[in-house]
Amino acid sequence: MLELADYASLLQNALKKNEFNVFGCRCSIIYSGRAESYLPPGDRIVIIKSDNSLLVHQPEGNNPVNYMKPGSSHYISFDDGKYFLRSQNLIHREYMDIEIHEIYFFESKHLEDGQKIILTGTEKDMAKMLFDNPSLIESGFKPLSMEEQTAFGFIDLFGYDKENTLTVIECKRYAADFKAVEQLKRYVERIKQSKGLTFVRGILAAPKISPNAEDLLHQEGFSFVSVKPPKYLERYDAKQKTLDGF
Amino acid sequence: MLELADYASLLQNALKKNEFNVFGCRCSIIYSGRAESYLPPGDRIVIIKSDNSLLVHQPEGNNPVNYMKPGSSHYISFDDGKYFLRSQNLIHREYMDIEIHEIYFFESKHLEDGQKIILTGTEKDMAKMLFDNPSLIESGFKPLSMEEQTAFGFIDLFGYDKENTLTVIECKRYAADFKAVEQLKRYVERIKQSKGLTFVRGILAAPKISPNAEDLLHQEGFSFVSVKPPKYLERYDAKQKTLDGF
DNA sequence: GGGGAGAGATGCCGC
DNA sequence: GCGGCATTTCTCCCC
């Protein structure tokens, strides 16, 4: 079993090599930057990535309890018989001191990964699906553009309905709330002003809508269409049977 | 050096003990749930916490590339000569398959931590600071309540100005954008309606405000006060000198 | 459990 | 750099 001093030495050397480092320890943490925090002593793991980002995770929960952004710098210091991992990010003016009371394990390894995640079922995918299948909105709907940075703002989808009325569609992949309605309203207002029109239709497309949002939606004269975000891989998986057995 | 089969066996046993597990590996990942994703082969670390949450981190970046929420379940499977870590969360209907090509290291440890982080400099702290020091808003301001769930909504701070006009204050710890203005407007409208008043003042308190937001703010007849979120620990640290030397 | 709002939000894209 | 906006947002609080 290694002593804290041995681990500290290992860590100090590893930090020079810009590899992936992870260690389990008992520690307490002070952070000062955009906000300030103190975390009393307890067991956590600390990760220092090759881009010099730092994460501290408690034994439970999805999110890091403390962290530093990529581009930070880290060093070990020994003051008054205590070990500290001190981190700073000068660009963001953020500082962190981890007082390390004990180290349980330490791993350092060069990790190679240039891959990016492929994600489907996003709001953008919803807009594309509606662009390609406009009857999901309503029969006779003619899409003009999607996900476009227009002069009036970033609009998910817009086009003409079967009465040739200009229509703005705002997509939400989750249950639409009244903020989504306000967003739609903002776009409709901007387009009316920009094009000098007295009426522009607004449609909110989402899996469902909250009661408050629906009230506001109807007050504004807009309408709701129930649409779920598309999941292309689901069909793929059904063929490949890789997610069977659950 | 252990073989993949040995690591798989270690991991399989460790999963039964509900400890903190972390391993470095080469893997590819399929996720299906709220959205769907595929991550091609590369080096990552996988963390399985004692609450059965799971995190996958690439060698760079602050955020996990894939994850499962607490309360998931995980098991090792060996199919067609390939090792998989399969995870599912029945409550959230989420599934993940990690195909493990190689394992570089593996650590399993019981971690003990019941501590919660103490955070200052939040919006709530700002509201309290303004409540305690109302002259930071303007001279003669008389606070009524803060962070209160009123009948008209959740309002950061409200009170009377020196002319005894009812005033709503919305705090933002960051640069205020036009959504903050819309939020303030919503509260002011609700209070006017609820109290049957023809005029209620609105003040946005934030470190700074974007030009677009400021335009909208003045259009609505509201005003801006520059206030920074308080950092109590900063003063504490200045005394204790724990964050010196940077 | 849903709704509303903050977060040391983060990350992406566009200007 | 800022601005606007989505996120497998997450988290908390309150109804």
pLDDT reported for residue B151: 67
Using CA atoms, how far residue B55 sits from A50, A56, A226, B21, B45, in Å, is 18, 13, 32, 10, 8
Partners of residue A169 on adjacent β-strands? A157, A203
Where b means 16+ CB within 10 Å and e means fewer, B165-197 reads ebbbbbbbbeebebebbbbbbbbbebbbeeeee
Q: How far is B242 from chain A (nearest CA, A)?
A: 8
Q: Which residue of B has its CA nearest to A87?
A: B246
| pLDDT band at residue B94 using 50, 70 and 90 as cut-offs | very high
Q: What's the pLDDT at B244?
A: 45
Given this model, what pLDDT does residue A234 score? 57
Judge: A35–B231 Cβ closer than 8 Å, yes or no.
yes
- Tell me the CATH class for B4-109: mainly beta
Instruction: List chain A residues with CB under 8 Å of B183.
Output: none
Residue A130 is predicted with a pLDDT of 96
State the pLDDT at residue B241: 45
Task: Report pLDDT digits (tens) over A96-135.
Answer: 999 999 999 999 999 999 999 999 999 999 999 999 999 9
Q: Structural domain boundaries of chain A?
A: 4-109, 123-226
C-beta atoms of A49 and B32 within 8 A: no
pLDDT average, residue stretch B224-231: 93
Closest CA to A205 of A149, A151, A167: A167
* B243 pLDDT more than 80: no
The set of residues, in sequence order, having a beta carbon less than 8 Å from that of A34 and lying 6+ positions away, is A92, A94, B121, B173
Whether nucleic acid strand D comes within 7 Å of the CB of B178, the answer is yes
Query: What does the alpha-carbon distance between residue B146 and residue A168 come to, in Å, rounded to a whole number?
Result: 38
Secondary-structure breakdown of chain A: helix, strand, coil percentages, each rounded to the nearest 5: 25, 40, 35
Q: So what's the architecture of B123-226 in CATH?
A: 3-Layer(aba) Sandwich (3.40)
Q: Which sign does the torsion angle of CA A138, A140, A146, A149 carry?
A: negative
Q: Which residues lie near nucleic chain C, judged by CB under 7 A?
A: A 31, 33-35, 37, 66-69, 92, 94, 96, 149, 175, 177-179, 210-213; B 61-63, 91, 119, 121-124, 153-154, 156, 170, 172-174, 183, 186-187
What interhelical angle do B178-195 and B211-219 show, nearest 10? 20
pLDDT averaged over every residue in chain A: 92
Per-residue pLDDT tens for B130-189? Answer: 999 999 999 999 999 887 777 667 899 999 999 999 999 999 999 999 999 999 999 999
Taking the C-alpha atoms of residue B204 and residue B171, their distance in angstroms, rounded to an integer, is 6
What is the SS3 assignment for A238? helix
The one-character DSSP state at A134 is G
Other beta carbons less than 10 A from residue A16's beta carbon = 8
Strands (E), B82-188: 82-89, 94-109, 118-120, 142-150, 153-160, 166-171
Confidence of residue A233 (pLDDT cuts 50, 70, 90): low
Nucleotides of D under 7 A from a protein CB: 1-11, 14-15
Q: Residue A244: is its pLDDT beyond 60?
A: no
Terminal-residue alpha carbon distance, chain B: 41
The partner residue sitting opposite A243, judged by closest CB among B30, B66, B115, is B30
Q: Of A69, A104, A243, which has the smallest distance from its Cβ to B109's Cβ?
A: A104
The answer to whether A61 CB is within 7 Å of strand D is: yes
Inter-chain CB proximity A114 and B232 less than 8 Å:
no
B95 touches chain A (CB under 8 A): yes
- pLDDT (0 to 100) of residue A151: 63
Instruction: State the pLDDT confidence band at A235, using cuts at 50, 70 and 90.
Output: very low
Question: With an 8 Å Cβ cutoff, is A153 touching chain B?
Answer: no
pLDDT value, residue A207: 96
Query: In angstroms, how far is C12 C1' from A118 CA?
Result: 15
- Per-residue pLDDT of B8-36, as tens digits, reads 999 999 999 999 999 999 999 999 999 99
Q: Given the structure tokens 């639409």, which residue do they identify?
A: A176
pLDDT, mean over chain B: 92
Residue B14 region by backbone torsions, left for phi larger than 0, else alpha for psi between -120 and 50, else beta: alpha
Residues 163-182 of A with CB under 7 A from strand D: 170, 173-174
Alpha carbon A185 to chain centroid distance? 25
Task: Compute CA A238 distance to the chain's CA centroid, rounded to the nearest angstrom.
Answer: 27
B96-110 pLDDT, tens digit each: 999 999 999 999 999
Q: Do A242 and B122 touch (CB under 8 A)?
A: no
DSSP 8-state class, residue A12: H
Q: Does B239 have pLDDT greater than 80?
A: no
User: Mean pLDDT, to the nearest integer, of A9-26?
Assistant: 96
> How far does B50 lie from chain A, in Å, by closest CA?
6
Count helices and strands in chain A by DSSP H and E runs: 5, 13
Q: Tokens 């989420």 label which residue?
A: B94
pLDDT category of residue A241 using cuts at 50, 70 and 90? very low
Which residues of chain B are within 8 Å of residue A88 when distances are taken between CB atoms? Answer: 246
Contact indicator for A205, A227 with CB cutoff of 8 Å? yes
> Is the confidence at residue B75, as pLDDT, over 70?
yes
Residue A239 — very low, low, confident or very high, per pLDDT cuts 50/70/90? very low
Q: Residue B43 pLDDT > 60, yes or no?
A: yes
With 70 as the cut, is the pLDDT of residue A62 above it?
yes
CA distance B68 to B75: 13
